[in-house]
Amino acid sequence: MKKSIVFIVFILLILLFSTHLLAARRALLVGIDHYIYNDKYGGKLDLKGCVNDVLDFKKILIEKYDFKENEIRVLLNQDATKESILEGFRWLSRETKSQDWVIFSYSGHGKQVKDLNGDEEDGLDECICPSNTEPRYLLNLISDDEINEFIVKLKDRRAFFLFDSCHSGTITRGASPKASGVNQEGYFARVLPPPALLEGESQSRGGRQTNGYYSESTNNIRSGVDFAQGAGEISIFSAAAPHQIAIPINISSGHPNGAMTYSVLKGLGGVADSNNDDVITYRELLQYSKDCLRGLKVKQEPQIDAEPGKIDKPIFFLTPQAELSNLINSSSTFSLNLRLYGRTSNKIKLKDFVEFYIDSERSGYLYIFAISVDGEVTCLLPNLYQKDNFIEAGEGVVIPPSDGKFAIEAVEPLGKMRTVAIVAEKPLDLARFCGGREEELLHTLGSDELKELVRSTRGITKVFSPSEWAAAVIDIYIVK
């Protein structure tokens, strides 16, 4: 009877604390290799690597940063028309509110056109080119003025924009760069050809790029987009400096990417964390992108426009849930094993009870956190019913233990639940995230408490040496 009461208490605690609101996240990713009018103009419009940019970006959002499929909208090739992109902008605005995350990436052609409202110092508007752009008559472009109207609506959001196209930083047309160690043969710079070139002889895919592909402007002019709009956190990465072009590269044979996107995705994979504090800031990501392209001898300088004082903030989609779920010590000097106990499959039926087996090569304090598919985080150990979380080296333990003091039940939502186990030689100050109230150690954490928890666990890397702690992760899937 005592055990059943504890089960009820545990479930009630989950229900009681599961109503906190997590920041919403929405991403619109646009990549265009094939343009609708390409055949009409002798094959001069199509690009390579833009679709790869989007699919690779989506993959890292899901696998590294725990984005969900329904949080990401992808527009590729013929689906990336002007109207569908503008509707995507409206979707981003509808689906988010103050302090939510908004992500937009664009890989495709860029274009400069005459400024009609006098807001550009160089007399030119910068544009992105949807798949239904008619290049001779410059129909269906999306100008920086239209993008700015969208950004104004996000003034209280936290937003990240990535433009991997020519003119994304008022880019000019100039000589095609020669990159050493990267295969660019047959890859056109991402700038829409001017009408004069469209009327000329068709250019072969393996041929030399002509200067007609690039902007006439050589002045270092800031784009017309207004980046600092309010209490939010808006940062815009663009592919190159005003006097440079944006190009694709082919590091992996048969898998081209935009040079900018390639460097950004590598950085977001973790290598941009230059000070090893487990946080990637906008400044670190920008610097890594510059260093990466410099190492590849690609002559383009990534740019950023960010609101004052916010360039040193953590990159937008590093939510506390994602930080916790990716807390791994790759330099640990001892192993930590985590697996389900008494099961041969990681699929757990709803309402079944779950046990974990943990075995550490070194004695220390054990901490276990569960992260559900919708981002809810529960501290499984220590808790009110088991405060003693010290384990001996080489002596495997089962959590929950057989004394019946508490149990772990598979509850909704269905889907992946990531479990993170940490063993540290010294105890963590977990009381910080629950205000010192021990009776609240076992519950689903609200956003403020979760931030405190992440501060505590992230502090491992600052307080402990790599030899003093280890972490392990297991994904289980809750099914009906």
Q: Is the pLDDT of residue 192 over 60?
A: no
- State the average pLDDT over residues 30-52: 92
**How far is 288 from 309, CA to CA, in rounded Å?**
19
Q: Which residue has the higher pLDDT, 52 or 253?
A: 52
Q: What are phi and psi of 378, to 5 degrees?
A: -120, 135
pLDDT band at 308 (very low <50, low <70, confident <90, very high): low
- How distant, in Å, are the alpha carbons of 122, 155, 263, 302 from that of 285? 29, 22, 9, 10
Rounded to an integer, the average pLDDT of 352-376 is 91
Of 305 and 205, more confident = 305
| pLDDT reading at 389 higher than 70 | yes
Which of 69-78, 176-185, 445-454 has the largest mean confidence?
69-78
Residue 106 CB contacts under 8 Å (≥ 6 apart), including other chains: 30, 31, 128, 162, 163, 164, 165
Share of the chain above pLDDT 90, in %: 34
For residue 273, the 8-state DSSP code is: -
Structure tokens at 311: 């360039």
Q: Residue 28, SS3? A: strand
CA angle 424, 429, 433 (to 5 degrees): 125
Residue pLDDT, tens place only, 432-477: 554 444 444 445 566 566 666 666 666 666 667 888 899 999 999 9
Tell me the helices (H) and strands (E) count for the chain, helix number first. Answer: 10, 20
Q: Which residue has the higher pLDDT, 206 or 427?
A: 427
Q: How far apart are CA 406 and CA 425, in angstroms?
A: 25
User: pTM for this one?
Assistant: 0.65
* Domains, the chain: 2-18+321-479 (2.60.40.2550), 25-318 (3.40.50.1460)
Confidence of residue 206 (pLDDT cuts 50, 70, 90): very low
pLDDT band at 66 (very low <50, low <70, confident <90, very high): confident
CB 277, CB 198: distance < 8 Å: no
Least confident range of 64-68, 240-244, 284-288: 240-244
Amino acid at the residue 382: P
State in Å, rounded, how far the first CA of the chain is from the last one: 26
- DSSP for 328-348 reads --TT-SS-EEEEESS-S-SEE
Q: Which two tokens stand for residue 202?
A: 């068709």
pLDDT at residue 141 greater than cutoff 80: yes
Tokens of 116: 């009609």
Give 111-180 as a DSSP string: EEEE-SSS--TTSEEEEE--TT-BTTTTBS-EEHHHHHHHHHHTTTSEEEEEEESTTTTSPPP-PPP--T
Predicted pLDDT at 371 = 86
